[in-house]
Structure 1
């Protein structure tokens, strides 16, 4: 599942880094904090590896 915005992609990258132990989980805020708890490493990797070109900074609310 690709990221819908640059912000979502960045949050997934931060959550993935914390899940892998590259940064402490205590440094996470907002969406990345909940992502690390609710998503698997594979799911986070898919979101974080999404290309940013053409993505809006923030996704439109539905």
Structure 2
């Protein structure tokens, strides 16, 4: 499942970096920390590899 916004993709990228050992887990906050704990490296890689072009900065939670 691809990221739906630039902010979501950035959070997933931060969680992926921590999962791979390129960043410290203690530096993660909010959504990226939750993603680190609940998703596998493969899942994070799939989400974070989404292209950013044409994506909104944020997506509202309302549907």
Same-fold call, TM > 0.5?
A: yes
Question: What residue number does 2:42 align with?
Answer: 42
Give per-residue Cα distances to partners, 1:13-38, cap 9 Å, x unaligned.
00000000001100001100000000
Cα RMSD (Å) of the superposition?
0.6
Note the residue ranges of structure 2 that are not aligned, 5 or more in a row: none
Extract structure 1 runs of 4+ deviating beyond 2 A: none
Any gaps of 5 or more consecutive residues in structure 1? none
TM-score (norm 1): 0.96
